Structure 1
Amino acid sequence: MAERKAALNRAPARPELKERLERAKTIVLTEEQMQEQRASFAYGNAPRNSRITKASATSATKRIRLSDPQPVT
């Protein structure tokens, strides 16, 4: 139980982090930025020794489109 005690305390106040999170809520990504993020996510989460490459992940993202990007509220 000693290992869990640190998790029971409240996290310290982080005003800079809170400000950045609030600012991030207003950002709308372009389709190009979304494709980059999708490719990075797919490649980064691919199993080791798989045949997924950065190029194949990037190629696959070009077939996925957002119809109307909305900011998260």
Structure 2
Amino acid sequence: MEEKKKLRIRTERCKGCGLCINVCPSGHLSMSDGVNKRGSKYVTLKEGGKCTLCGMCAVICPDCAIEIREDEG
């Protein structure tokens, strides 16, 4: 059985530093127009983009706001 994974962004933890955007090889991430409860812009997935699930964004995030998880759906 093939293991399915997906990228999860915990927007409430994001401080909008943009490190993940800079390291993403597929250009799949962008900064939001809105702000989270911390008053910071946060990272979102671009619509129609193709995430390779390489995990570089999760590794570089200083706030552990991004993770690669098993898709439960």
Which TM class, normalised by the smaller chain length? under 0.3
Q: Which has the higher helix share?
A: 1
- Report the TM-score when normalising by structure 1: 0.23
Instruction: Using structure 2 for the length normalisation, give the TM-score.
Output: 0.23
Could you say which structure has the higher strand fraction? 2
Larger Rg: 1
